[in-house]
Amino acid sequence: MAASAPKIEARGGENRREALLDAAAAMFAAKGYDGTSIRDIAGAVGMLPGSLYYHFKSKEDLLIAVYRKGVARFEAAIDEALETTGGDPWQAIEAACAAHLSILLDGGDYARIVNPEFVRSFPGEMLPTLNAERDRYERHFEKLIAALPLPPETDRWLFKVALFGSLNWSQTWYRKGRYTPGDIAGAFIGMLRQKGA
Amino acid sequence: MAASAPKIEARGGENRREALLDAAAAMFAAKGYDGTSIRDIAGAVGMLPGSLYYHFKSKEDLLIAVYRKGVARFEAAIDEALETTGGDPWQAIEAACAAHLSILLDGGDYARIVNPEFVRSFPGEMLPTLNAERDRYERHFEKLIAALPLPPETDRWLFKVALFGSLNWSQTWYRKGRYTPGDIAGAFIGMLRQKGA
DNA sequence: GAGGCTACCAAACAAGTGTTTGCTATGGCA
DNA sequence: TGCCATAGCAAACACTTGTTTGGTAGCCTC
């Protein structure tokens, strides 16, 4: 991104763009990409539809920007979680899962956009771009799983997708109150952790 | 395709309705509900857009019909799987999971529609109707899980959503060839099955 | 105080949307 | 033969969609 001018944000410069991103994230999450119109988004921040095109060159461009911000939140959360965790691999992956869940469940609207099942409804040409972004994030978890003391017959790739499935599925049933992200992460890891190890 | 029946089937009674359902399922699965137009669906079976309204009274009505057919497939598959399974609870749930996966992964386009993450993009008023349909299906699994000899501290509800997450997530990574639905079901159940029990 | 840049308005554009309406060709039944 | 339900055509309806274009008020610099 071009960031060479340090003063120009004096008047609603970057704020308006950010407001549009927030509104777009909220409405995409609520009604889907196709279900949300430029007029909806612009209207939510008190703008006319045409004015949005000053900040984003197309609706797809806006979506990509929202998506990037979503992935960045996940990455920041597990980076922070892993910094404060000791060497025990089970503890490390549980912390990463808890961080993942905290963004997924309480991280606002941006997190919803990142869900691959959500992404499937997007215009096809942008799919490779978005998936590459996501793959990079998942690699953090692959490393953590590689360090786990699992029974030798365990397929670690299947382990990853099983874990990811459990985690991401929580979006469909989670309601605030009953369980915290930490509870869920602990329970899931507990189920997957063989008693002998 | 039409080897022995040349043109006469252009006016088939129930066949045309079924053809519309198939086309709708395929296009909903590929491009989403909003991304698919009545013209697309009607055109796919060689009909004009208005003619579709003879068979379905609205686009939402068509979607509900597709969804119902999707859920019915899942139910038929696990009903059949459970009939031929012995009394061992772990064996029973593994069979149910394998049946669920075989529909989810190789069951064609109808299966995709049932995914809740997909359903979230549907018009809001129909959500309760669709979810009730799905809850009924999930209850089969709740019964199977209730019969499992799990450690006493295990939250069986979290066990269910963890398992369901792993299973349904497979839609996002599965490609034909490497694993069969049976392989995946066996591996997932194996991971969740504590060695001591 | 002239020029230029930022951020936006106002209005239109062509294309596509779900749906309704009136009509018609077909085939079975009395 | 006449009747009637079936299954679909043809054309329009009112509306929404993403996007473009031309203009302009306010600020900053020279």
The amino acid sitting at B131 is: N
A70 CA to C4 C1', in Å?
36
Note whether A187 contacts B118, CB cutoff 8 Å. no
Nearest to B166 by CA among A128, A192, A88: A192
Q: Which nucleotide is nearest to B11 (CA to C1')?
A: D7
Q: What is the CATH number of the domain that holds A169?
A: 1.10.357.10
Residue A76 within any structural domain of the chain = yes
Three-state SS at B179: coil
Which residues in chain B are closer than 8 Å to A155, comparing Cβ atoms?
187
pLDDT tens across the length of chain B (197 residues): 322 222 334 455 568 899 999 999 999 998 889 999 999 999 999 999 999 999 999 999 999 999 999 999 999 998 999 888 878 999 999 999 999 999 999 988 998 888 877 787 777 677 787 788 888 889 999 999 999 999 998 999 999 999 999 999 999 899 998 999 999 999 999 999 876 44
Residue A46 within any structural domain of the chain = no
User: What is the pLDDT at residue B5?
Assistant: 28
Which of B166, B168, B175 should be substituted to probe chain A, the one whose Cβ sees the most A Cβ atoms within 10 Å?
Answer: B166
Indicate if the pLDDT at residue A173 is higher than 80: yes
Residue A52 within any structural domain of the chain = no
Search chain A and give the residue with CA nearest B124: A31
Exposed, middle or buried: residue B154 (CB in 10 Å: 0-12, 13-18, 19+)? middle
Helix (H) or strand (E) holding B79, with range, is helix B59-83
Residue A41 within any structural domain of the chain = no
A55 touches strand C (CB under 7 A): yes
Chain D nucleotides near the protein (CB, 7 A): 6-12, 16-22, 27-29
Nearest residue to nucleotide C6, by CA–C1' distance, is A13
For A38-74, write each residue's pLDDT tens digit: 999 999 999 999 999 999 999 999 999 999 999 999 9
Residue A38 within any structural domain of the chain = no
The amino acid sitting at B120 is: R
Q: How many Å lie between the alpha carbon of B2 and the closest alpha carbon of chain A?
A: 32
Note whether A161 contacts B154, CB cutoff 8 Å. no
Note whether B166 contacts A167, CB cutoff 8 Å. no
A32 CA to C14 C1', in Å?
25
Range of the domain at A182: 67-195
Residue A10 within any structural domain of the chain = no
Q: Which nucleotide is nearest to A37 (CA to C1')?
A: D17
User: What is the pLDDT at residue A11?
Assistant: 43
Domain tally for chain A?
A: 1
- Distance in angstroms (rounded) separating the CA atoms of residues A187 and B165: 14
B48 touches strand D (CB under 7 A): yes
Residue A144 within any structural domain of the chain = yes
User: What is the pLDDT at residue A8?
Assistant: 32
Go through chain A and tell me how many residues it has.
197
Nearest residue to nucleotide C8, by CA–C1' distance, is A51
User: What is the pLDDT at residue A195?
Assistant: 60
Which residue among A121, A155, A164 sits closest to B169, beta carbon to beta carbon? A164
Q: Spell out the residues 6+ positions from residue A104 whose beta carbon is closer than 8 angstroms to its own.
A: A74, A111, A167, A168, A170, A171, A181
Which residues in chain B are closer than 8 Å to A172, comparing Cβ atoms?
116-117
For A139-171, write each residue's pLDDT tens digit: 999 999 999 999 998 999 999 999 999 999 999
User: What is the pLDDT at residue A13?
Assistant: 60
B48 CA to D10 C1', in Å?
9
Q: What is the pTM of this model?
A: 0.86
Which residues in chain A are closer than 8 Å to B164, comparing Cβ atoms?
169
Q: Which nucleotide is nearest to B45 (CA to C1')?
A: D8
Considering chain A, what percentage of its residues have pLDDT values greater than 90? Answer: 66
Exposed, middle or buried: residue A12 (CB in 10 Å: 0-12, 13-18, 19+)? exposed
User: What is the pLDDT at residue A12?
Assistant: 55
Note whether B155 contacts A34, CB cutoff 8 Å. no
- Distance in angstroms (rounded) separating the CA atoms of residues A132 and B18: 38
Q: How many Å lie between the alpha carbon of A128 and the closest alpha carbon of chain B?
A: 14
**Whole-number average pLDDT of chain A:** 87
Residue B169 within any structural domain of the chain = yes
Note whether A166 contacts B166, CB cutoff 8 Å. yes
Search chain A and give the residue with CA nearest B197: A195
Which residue among A154, A159, A188 sits closest to B162, beta carbon to beta carbon? A188
